[in-house]
């Protein structure tokens, strides 16, 4: 969990520092948003490439290697003389994310009894909102006090500590399967896998298209100072932890309803922010709703992929990681396009409308599944 926390924090840390980094290198918020776009695109490619290239190599060795790359990337960005070096360091972040997630996301069934897998996944994926509740706001606060470069030094030190813990505490994890490209290609033919890909694509596009630029929104529309922005991000992250455990508890029994409710909360929050986010109370309430909604997404999405490919959990994790990370990049890129040509308000509307599409897709799939189940029943 701590390793996932480090990776998530390193990936989304720039969200709270976009303004400072942009000012330091004299670039726009949209250009600074490339710090979010680059790792996701690289991770989407790294996930399948890493797992196929790893072959029969012990997964413990691979996890330690990817964590070392995370350490190196934070050192590079902390001492980057120009923005191009920052982007180069984010490539290493992407490789680390793609490889680590592709292996770690499917490890629960190897580390705990079968009956505890759902709970274990909820604990693992709690690191995602925890990275928001502690990583991003704490990084933002540290950036205000000591500068954004110091923030990356601290994250690099955290990653170094995690690397040491992995080396000392992880048991040997020999490869159980050799994942080949043909296996991944075969999974893509499944209807449930395609549904998982589409819903993940849309909901992550909606979230990161808007959330990447939530700091400019709170500064320019809600007119909050840096301290209040940090506080609201902390509250958002706490709500995300709650959403993660609620989603993890519900997704096994009510998969469609869980994903649909998460998308509905996300859509409602982002569509109402331009109206109610002008006031602190409105922004606070809507960020809580947003946090609960998105907090349920990663664990629900992983559950869908695992359910769609129960015989190849590692391959399912690869598809989950690749789709999730690619869409983080596309969301940040699309959001940057909207922000540079519109405003932070416009990007919230974009996120909300995209989230509505998720509800439509989930509802359609649920109705088709229900009809299929009825037709499969024996007729007396």
Distances (CA, A) of 50 to 46, 56, 103, 216, 371: 6, 12, 9, 35, 39
Tell me what the pLDDT averaged over the chain comes to.
85
Question: What is the pLDDT at residue 110?
Answer: 64
For residue 293 the two structure tokens come to 């909604």
pLDDT reported for residue 107:
67
Could you list the pLDDT tens digit for every one of the 380 residues in the chain?
Answer: 688 888 888 888 887 788 888 888 988 877 887 887 888 889 888 888 888 887 778 888 999 999 999 999 999 999 999 999 999 999 999 999 888 887 876 666 666 666 666 666 667 767 776 776 667 777 778 888 888 999 999 999 999 999 999 999 888 877 766 677 777 888 888 888 889 899 999 999 999 899 988 988 999 999 998 889 888 988 888 898 899 889 988 888 898 999 999 999 999 999 999 999 999 999 999 999 999 999 999 888 888 887 887 777 777 878 888 888 888 778 878 888 888 888 899 999 999 999 999 999 999 988 887 777 666 656 55
pLDDT of residue 114: 63
Q: Which domain holds residue 369?
A: 2-376
What is the C-alpha separation between 159 and 204, in angstroms, rounded?
25
Write down the number of H helices and E strands in the chain.
20, 0
How many CA atoms, within 13 angstroms, populate the side-chain half-sphere of residue 230? 15
Triad 7, 10, 15: Cα angle to 5° = 130
| Predicted structure pTM score | 0.79
Per DSSP, helices labelled H in 13-147 are 18-25, 29-32, 34-54, 59-78, 83-104, 108-111, 117-125, 127-130, 136-146
Q: Largest Cα–Cα distance in the chain? A: 75
103 vs 223: CA distance, rounded Å: 42
Q: What confidence score (pLDDT) does residue 261 get?
A: 95
CATH of the domain at 137: 1.20.1250.20
Q: How far is the C-alpha of 365 from the C-alpha of 379, rounded, in Å?
A: 24
Total domain count for the chain? 1
Q: What is the tens place of the pLDDT at every residue in 190-234?
A: 888 889 899 999 999 999 899 988 988 999 999 998 889 888 988
For residue 228, give the nearest of 216, 219, 241, 237 by alpha carbon: 219
Pair of tokens at residue 150: 């110091």
């Amino acid at each position: 969990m701590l390793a996932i926390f480090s990776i998530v924090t390193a990936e989304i840390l720039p969200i709270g520092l976009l303004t400072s980094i942009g000012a330091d290198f004299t670039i726009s918020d949209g250009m600074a948003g490339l710090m979010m776009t680059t790792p996701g695109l690289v991770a989407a490619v790294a996930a399948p490439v890493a797992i196929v290239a790893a072959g029969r190599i012990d997964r413990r060795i691979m996890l330690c290697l990817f964590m070392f790359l995370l350490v190196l990337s934070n050192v590079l960005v902390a001492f980057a003389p120009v923005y191009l070096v920052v982007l180069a360091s984010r490539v290493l972040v992407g490789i680390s994310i793609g490889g680590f997630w592709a292996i770690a996301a499917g490890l629960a069934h190897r580390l705990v009894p079968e009956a505890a897998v759902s709970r274990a996944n909820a604990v693992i994926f709690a690191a995602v909102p925890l990275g928001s509740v502690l990583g991003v706001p704490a990084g933002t606060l540290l950036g205000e006090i000591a500068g954004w470069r110091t923030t990356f030094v601290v994250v690099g030190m955290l990653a170094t500590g995690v690397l040491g813990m992995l080396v000392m505490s992880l048991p040997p994890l020999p490869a159980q399967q050799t994942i080949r490209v043909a296996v991944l290609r075969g999974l893509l033919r499944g209807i449930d896998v395609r549904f998982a890909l589409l819903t993940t694509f849309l909901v992550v596009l909606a979230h990161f298209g808007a959330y990447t630029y939530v700091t400019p929104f709170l500064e320019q529309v809600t007119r909050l100072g840096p301290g209040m922005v940090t506080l609201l991000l902390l509250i958002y992250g706490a709500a995300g932890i709650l959403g993660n455990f609620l989603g993890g508890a519900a997704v096994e029994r009510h998969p469609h309803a869980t994903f649909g409710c998460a998308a509905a909360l996300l859509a409602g929050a982002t569509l109402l922010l331009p109206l109610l986010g002008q006031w602190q109370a409105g922004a606070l309430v809507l960020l809580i709703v947003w946090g609960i909604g998105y907090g349920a997404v990663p664990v629900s999405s992983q559950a869908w992929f695992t359910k769609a490919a129960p015989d190849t959990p590692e391959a399912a994790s690869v598809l989950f990681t690749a789709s999730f990370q690619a869409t983080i990049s596309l969301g940040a890129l699309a959001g940057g396009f909207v922000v540079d040509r519109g405003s932070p308000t416009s990007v919230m509307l974009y996120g909300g409308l995209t989230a509505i599409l998720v509800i439509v897709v989930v509802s359609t799939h649920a109705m088709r599944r229900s009809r299929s189940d009825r037709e499969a029943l024996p007729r007396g």
